[in-house]
Structure 1
Amino acid sequence: MNREGSGREPLTRGSRLLILALVQTAVLAALIGYRQWTLETGTPVVLAIRPVDPRSLFQGDYVQLSYEIGHLRIDRLAGDDDLERGETVFVDLQPGRPAWQATGVWRRRPVAAPTGAVLRGRVDWVAEQQCEESGTGESTAIVPCRIAGIHYGIESYFVPEGKGREWERPVEGERIDIRVAVNRAGTPAISAILVNGQPQVEEGLF
């Protein structure tokens, strides 16, 4: 059969590169738009952190963040306590002073209380440990406990040059927290670094 009249011409190398560039641009724009939507519409949540390793010669100034809710004693929380590495989980958070606290962790997204938020994460590890537990008066006991390490995708944050080491080791009496916005899907985005409750760096909208 003669196909000379099909009218289709093979794409040139330049055309293929242009299409690839347009697709990459569209994906990047979608990611940026999703993050901005999260910052604009998400529930503001304050998380306590333990910052470590704030400097990388390959990535510039950044803070590597370890969150208090990144180490959950799941045998003391509502929800599922038989979690396994690699699972997606949903952590229920409720307001606290100054930081929000985890009250439960589930494999399936729970219905969030009006005062709370649900944060989606991934289980990095689960371990059986021995934990201290307060008893009556001033006594403490060592009891078996089950700890899960949870990754939320907000563990690294780029900061203005030279600020990483300043925030790594707060001066005595200084407290550093992270404010995040949590959208309806449970995805968080860092919106501000707080020092003693006051924003030092804030993420703006576009």
Structure 2
Amino acid sequence: MLDRLLRRELNPLLAAIVCSVVLVGSLVVMIQGRAAILRDGAEIVLKTEPVDPRDLMRGDYVRLGYTDISSIDKGLIEGGWPAQDTTAPVWLILAPGGDGAYVPKAARFSKPSVMALQELVVLRSLPVRITVARPDGGLNSIGPLRFGIERYYVPEGEGLEIEKAQNEGRTTVAVRVSEDGEPQISRLMIDGETLYEEPLY
């Protein structure tokens, strides 16, 4: 009896409903996670630099480079290097600099404990290649850091204007960061004034 039940073909309508529920549920979880970061995350301001202003498939966008956090001084590493070459996130401990933009104060290869000072924020990079020095020579090294916030879409025709402002050093980005170090762009600013603000949904 059980064998016959297991061999029966799954009802196509039931299969379609189950797949739809799983897909919609996954989408809702992703949207809610992003909205939670934009609503509750700690806000930091980062300086940007342009990379590329246009994507023909999706309209104008600004590719953002973050000079203060895309590469870090190895002297900022705390807690030691991994035992061998690996690919893993890097955790940056950021604090506001003299102009209010956040800059790295330290970096680790594991999540830091709770920060003692309120203005400190922990930012987690995407996994990056980490090379460990060999006894016979070579240097410890970390590839360029990325955070998943390197692209920001804007209304068509406005990417070049923003790129010009970036070239002049007038563009900054407000980023919300979750407790787990995950960032989401919340605002794109020129001369400190908000140009675009991301809706929660």
Normalised TM-score (structure 2): 0.81
- Kindly tell me: are residues 171 and 116 of structure 1, through their superposed partners in 2, closer, same or farther at Cα, counting changes over 3 Å? closer
**2:98 maps to 1:103:** no
What does 1:1-206 align with in structure 2 at a 5 Å threshold?
Answer: 2=1, 10-68=9-67, 69-75=69-75, 77-79=76-78, 82=81, 86-96=87-97, 97-111=99-113, 112=115, 113-122=117-126, 124=128, 148-170=143-165, 175-206=170-201
Q: Deviations over 1:64-87 (max 9, x none)?
A: 111121121223x14157475622
Cα distance, 1:171 vs. partner?
7.6
Contact 1:52 1:65 survives alignment (8 Å): yes
* CA–CA separation in structure 2 for the residues paired with 1:115 and 1:171: 26
Contact 1:72 1:148 survives alignment (8 Å): no
- Higher CA-based Rg: 1
> Which structure's residues are more often strand, by fraction?
1
For residue 162 of structure 1, give the secondary structure of its aligned residue in structure 2.
coil
Cα distance, 1:50 vs. partner?
1.0
* CA–CA separation in structure 2 for the residues paired with 1:19 and 1:81: 47
* CA–CA separation in structure 1 for the residues paired with 2:3 and 2:123: 58
Cα distance, 1:63 vs. partner?
1.4
* CA–CA separation in structure 2 for the residues paired with 1:161 and 1:172: 19
Letter in 1 for 2:63: Q
Q: What is the aligned-residue RMSD (CA, Å)?
A: 2.9
The residue number in structure 2 matching 1:135 is none
Q: Which moved more, 1:189-198 or 1:9-18?
A: 9-18
Q: How many residues align?
A: 188
* CA–CA separation in structure 2 for the residues paired with 1:188 and 1:39: 9
Letter in 1 for 2:44: V
Q: Deviations over 1:95-151 (max 9, x none)?
A: 121311111110111132321100011354569xxxxxxxxxxxxxxxx99664111
Contact 1:73 1:146 survives alignment (8 Å): no
Q: Which moved more, 1:170-179 or 1:160-169?
A: 170-179
Normalised TM-score (structure 1): 0.79
Unaligned runs of 5+ in 1: 128-143
Instruction: State, as a whole percentage, how many aligned pairs show the same letter.
Output: 30
* CA–CA separation in structure 1 for the residues paired with 2:80 and 2:101: 23
Cα distance, 1:196 vs. partner?
0.7
Contact 2:94 2:104 survives alignment (8 Å): yes
For residue 35 of structure 2, give the secondary structure of its aligned residue in structure 1.
helix
Contact 1:74 1:81 survives alignment (8 Å): no
Cα distance, 1:201 vs. partner?
0.2
For residue 79 of structure 1, give the secondary structure of its aligned residue in structure 2.
coil
- Kindly tell me: are residues 182 and 22 of structure 1, through their superposed partners in 2, closer, same or farther at Cα, counting changes over 3 Å? same
- Kindly tell me: are residues 156 and 81 of structure 1, through their superposed partners in 2, closer, same or farther at Cα, counting changes over 3 Å? farther
